[in-house]
Structure 1
Amino acid sequence: MKQLSILALGAVAVLTACNSRPANQFDLKGTIDGADGQTIYLVYTRNDSVKTDSTVIADGTFAFTGIAEVPVSATFYMGDVMNWESKTRAGIYLEPSEMTVTGLTAEDFSGAKISGSRTQDEVYEYEALIR
Structure 2
Amino acid sequence: MKKLSIAFVTSVLLFACSEKKLENNLHLTGNIKGLKKGTLYVQRIQNDSLVALDTIGIDGNSTFETNIELKSPEMLYLFLDRGVSNSLDNNLLFFAEPGEVNIETTLENYIADAKVSGSKNQDLYYEYKKVDRRFQEESLDLIEKKFKAMKSKNNLEIANISAKQESNIKRKYLYATNFAINNKDHEIAPYIALSEIYDINIKFLDTIQKSMSPKVAQSLYGKKLTEYLASLKKKQQ
**Larger Rg over CA atoms:** 2
* Residues 87-106 of structure 1 mapped to structure 2, 5 A cutoff: 87-105=89-107
Q: Is the 8 A contact 1:45 1:72 kept in 2?
A: no
Q: Is the 8 A contact 1:77 1:90 kept in 2?
A: yes
1:32-71 CA deviation, whole Å, 9 max, x = no partner? 122223111110157x996411111252101121111111
Aligned residue for 2:73?
Answer: 71
User: Which whole-Å CA distance do the structure 2 matches of 1:71 and 1:33 have between them?
Assistant: 27
Aligned residue for 1:57?
Answer: 58
User: Which whole-Å CA distance do the structure 2 matches of 1:57 and 1:49 have between them?
Assistant: 25
Misfit runs of 4+, over 6 Å: none
Q: Is the 8 A contact 2:23 2:69 kept in 1?
A: no
Question: Please, what TM-score do these two structures have when normalized by structure 1?
Answer: 0.69
Aligned residue for 1:7?
Answer: none
Aligned residue for 2:35?
Answer: 35
Q: Is the 8 A contact 1:39 1:78 kept in 2?
A: yes
DSSP-derived class of the 1:93 partner? strand
DSSP-derived class of the 1:57 partner? strand
* Residues 7-46 of structure 1 mapped to structure 2, 5 A cutoff: 21-22=21-22, 25-45=25-45
User: Which whole-Å CA distance do the structure 1 matches of 2:130 and 2:55 have between them?
Assistant: 31
Aligned residues: 113
> What's the Cα RMSD here?
3.1
Identity, % of aligned positions:
26
Aligned residue for 1:8?
Answer: none
User: Which whole-Å CA distance do the structure 2 matches of 1:49 and 1:38 have between them?
Assistant: 23
Q: Is the 8 A contact 1:102 1:114 kept in 2?
A: yes
Cα distance change of structure 1 residues 115 and 66 upon mapping to structure 2, 3 Å threshold: same
Give structure 2 stretches of 5+ with no counterpart: 1-13, 135-237
Give structure 1 stretches of 5+ with no counterpart: 1-13
DSSP-derived class of the 2:130 partner? helix
1:2-55 CA deviation, whole Å, 9 max, x = no partner? xxxxxxxxxxxx9xx79x944861011110122223111110157x99641111
Aligned residue for 1:10?
Answer: none
Deviation of residue 104 (structure 1)?
2.4
